[in-house]
Amino acid sequence: MNEDSGTPNTPASPGTEIDFSTVIASAVHDMKNSLGMLLNSLDELRDELPAAQSSERFSTLQYEAQRVHVDLIQLLGLYRLQQKTLSAHIDEHFVPDFLDEHLAQHRVVAEARGLTLEVDADPISGFFDADLISGVLNNILNNAIRYTRTKIHVTAREQDGYLVLAVEDDGDGFPAEMQAAPEKTRQGIDFTTGSTSLGIYFSARIAGMHQHDGRSGEIKLSNSGKLGGGLFEVWLP
């Protein structure tokens, strides 16, 4: 999602009752923008200070700020979905270039934490909303960085007429109930599982917005990847 996308601040007329959800959305939008400025400053600081590039504490600060930023973007996206003001703007993208550009910041954080981030993308193009799919990948990569042990592997391929973007790690994997019923996360958010459940719900909704020739995008979760941990796939028609 674009940094500027969100909910405008619309003042209430005197005597009218305030819609609390709109107030929250406006506050989240402001926090998202402020946190985005902080992340930009952290990027500049890392470039200016060589010691920061190898600092695990600096990496943790950058990672946690980025994770909260992604959560705020997801909350705004879900609000706009509820208000029916979020739409997908589909364009053609060369997938390897899209992933290289998108993964640059995640690679810096991963390497500072001693993790290996590998990308294996077939030279293919796909039709999708780059901002929305970036939001999906941001969430999954943040979770992979948090829960993996040593490695993260990102792949892109074409299969059965779908573009398949996959992220796998060598952590403990997804819970059995989440694998068995990914569609269930579309019906609501299990707050007992924290932001991961919110991210899966958001990802499922975004994937479903991508439609072509009567087919809709979807997500698939399993622990069947080559690394032995969690495997997240988004299938886009």
Q: How far is CA 80 from the centre of its chain?
A: 16
Model pLDDT, residue 193: 45
Query: What are 161-217's pLDDT values in tens digits?
Result: 999 999 999 999 988 877 776 655 554 445 544 445 778 888 999 999 999 999 999
Model pLDDT, residue 184: 58
Residue 194 has phi, psi (to 5 degrees) of 75, -150
Whose structure tokens read 């993308």?
Answer: 121
> Cα dist. 54→20, 51, 152, 170 in Å?
43, 6, 19, 23
Identify residue 154 by its one-letter amino acid code: V
User: Residue 71: helix, strand or coil by DSSP?
Assistant: helix
**Could you tell me which residues come within 8 angstroms of residue 96 by beta carbon, excluding any fewer than 6 positions away?**
119, 121, 122, 123, 156
- Predicted confidence (pLDDT) at residue 12 exceeds the cutoff of 70: no
> To the nearest whole number, what is the mean pLDDT of the chain?
84
- Indicate the pairing of strand 91-94 with strand 218-222: unpaired
Model pLDDT, residue 237: 97
Model pLDDT, residue 154: 98
Query: What are 43-76's pLDDT values in tens digits?
Result: 888 778 777 666 778 878 888 888 888 788 888 8
Token pair in block for residue 182: 């990914």
Q: Among candidates 183, 148, 191, which has minimal Cα distance to 167?
A: 148
Token pair in block for residue 166: 């996959």
Comparing 32 with 160, the larger pLDDT belongs to 160
Q: Among candidates 119, 129, 122, which has minimal Cα distance to 95?
A: 122
- Indicate the pairing of strand 116-121 with strand 151-159: parallel
- pLDDT confidence bin for 145, thresholds 50/70/90: very high
Comparing 61 with 145, the larger pLDDT belongs to 145
Range 108-124 average pLDDT: 92
The Cα–Cα gap between 36 and 152 comes to 25
Query: Could you tell me what percent of the chain has a pLDDT over 90?
Result: 44
Token pair in block for residue 175: 């819970």
Query: Could you tell me what percent of the chain has a pLDDT over 70?
Result: 84
Model pLDDT, residue 15: 55
Residue 116 has phi, psi (to 5 degrees) of -100, 125
Residue 14 has phi, psi (to 5 degrees) of -55, 135
Model pLDDT, residue 65: 84
- Predicted confidence (pLDDT) at residue 222 exceeds the cutoff of 70: yes
What b/e string do you get for 28-65 counting C-beta neighbours within 10 Å, with b at 16 or more? bbeebeebbebbeebeeebeeeeebeeeeebbeebbeb
Model pLDDT, residue 198: 79
E strands, 20-161, in order: 91-94, 116-121, 125-128, 151-159
